[in-house]
Amino acid sequence: MSEIKHSNVIETDAFRDRIATVDESGKRKWIYAYQPKGRFYNIRSVLSVFYFLIFFGLPFVQINERPLFLFNIPEAKFILFGKIFWPQDFFIFGLTMVTFVFFIILFTAAFGRLFCGWACPQTNFMEMMFRRVEYWILGDAPAQKQLKSAPWTGKKMIKITVKHLLFFLLSFTIANFFLAYIIGINELEKIITEPVTQHVVGFASILVFSAVFYGVYAFFREQACTVVCPYGRLQSVLLDKNSMIVAYDYKRGEPRGNFKKQASSSLGDCIDCHLCVKVCPTGIDIRNGVQMECVGCTACIDACDHVMDSIGKPKGLIRYASENSIAKGEPLRYTVRMKLYTGLCFLLLALLSVILMTRKDIDATVIRTAGMLYQERGKDSLSNLYNIKLINKTTKDIAVKVVLKDQQGTILMAGKPVIEIKKEGQASGTFFIILPKSAVKQRKTMLKLALYTNGEELVTSKTNFLGPAL
């Protein structure tokens, strides 16, 4: 057992021997977190309403008959901000993911686990939905503990059953919407309204997702953050001493001691009431310093502010701060590094937005037919044969005309003069490019083709024209 030293406090770091939710024998310790009360909890409560509105509302938002977001992994079809991504766009999708990872790294280095506490679905659903239902049915943490050790009476059975029924209903609802993000709300509607026999896989998926969500929120709970979440595991490498975290001001708080002793001696402001520990959903004591299990939920800030208020001391013994700002006794500042990282994050987002916005709705690949040379056309013209492959990423059927750009010559389509492409479909065509010999001045002449629909230029493509060796 080693020791950690703050400036004027020496504590053993035995708490690091195992996570807070496991006892000495390796058994799970159930966390009975007290319901926080305070300004951060109030703000989080309001924000969570918007959060849930967005989560449950987004699948209904459609742009051009297409969902705003779709992550159809089984069919490799992804829609971001209403733009569809095909396997051919994989590099854009990859770039989006890389940008996202960079964003996370920069954001975490500057603002710590702000995402976990405020934006993570696990934290929001667990703390702002399921735990609230639990408080509502079973009461606050002491009542829950009491109920746990009480004999199995009818009242206890009803309470536990109602809780688990509601937990399952909520999980079932979340599972439906979760599936809507994968297959789209229209497909989900079919699963709900049509006979089960027609949608066995879809129905089974809903049940599996429901069981997983129920298992996570009813039993697994904080373990998802402290044991499973890869982002949580990465904190130790992403955070540094200047990152903003929820931190205990040990300079001000130590040496800790109960309120009565404090009055008669020169103790710090911490009255060792353990309220910050009691409200912690991951069961840790923030006074031990930065810990991987802290999800930045701010419950301990609210709890301690309340204590400070009641003993007439300034709030903020636990607050958003960096390790360095606590060590130097300075308030948290928006440092140059934070500004730089924020700027970079915005830059990455802007870059990504530009890439997404400027992506073409039609993809065209023009290839000169393999193995064919040029053909003589009468006395004064040459022709090459080409194949064109088109992808229509819009939700409308399109008829496309191929036109030579900035070049003398004509295009002769094999078959219809326009190529019809079904919405979100693919099509191909064959055509000749015929150039006057006077325009062919080298073995390979670079050409630009434009694709038009209803007089509007959709996209341009490049190819080359093979002529005789000069």
User: What is the binding site for ligand SF4 (CB under 6 A)?
Assistant: 246, 248, 253, 270-276, 279-282, 284, 286-287, 294-300, 303-304, 307, 317-318
Tell me how far apart the terminal alpha carbons of the chain are, to the nearest angstrom: 84
Q: Determine contact, residues 390/360, Cβ cutoff 8 Å.
A: no
Judged by CB, which is closer to ligand SF4: 137, or 247? 247
The two structure tokens encoding residue 447 = 């050409």
Nearer to ligand SF4, 126 or 421 (CB): 126
CA atoms of 367 and 353, how far apart (whole Å): 31
Q: Which is nearer to ligand SF4, 278 or 393 (CB)?
A: 278
> Which are the contacts of 297, defined by CB distance < 8 A and separation ≥ 6?
44, 116, 117, 123, 127, 246, 280, 281
Residue 175 or residue 275: which is nearer to ligand SF4 going by CB? 275
Tell me the closest approach of the beta carbon of residue 341 to ligand SF4, in angstroms.
22
Number of alpha carbons in the 13 Å side-chain half-sphere of residue 126: 26
Q: What string of DSSP letters covers 89-107?
A: GHHHHHHHHHHHHHHHHHH
Smallest gap from residue 103 Cβ to ligand SF4 (A): 23
Between CA 161 and CA 288 the distance in angstroms is 38
Min separation Cβ 225 and ligand SF4, Å: 8
Question: Residue 302 in contact with residue 280, Cβ under 8 Å?
Answer: no
Q: What is the dihedral of CA 81, 82, 83, 86, to 10 degrees?
A: 110
CB-nearer residue toward ligand SF4: 179 or 294: 294
Q: Smallest distance, Å, CB 285 to ligand SF4?
A: 8
Q: Which is nearer to ligand SF4, 109 or 276 (CB)?
A: 276
Least distance to ligand SF4, CB of residue 282, Å: 5
Q: How many C-beta atoms surround the C-beta of residue 56 within 10 A?
A: 14
CB of 290 to ligand SF4, least distance (A): 10
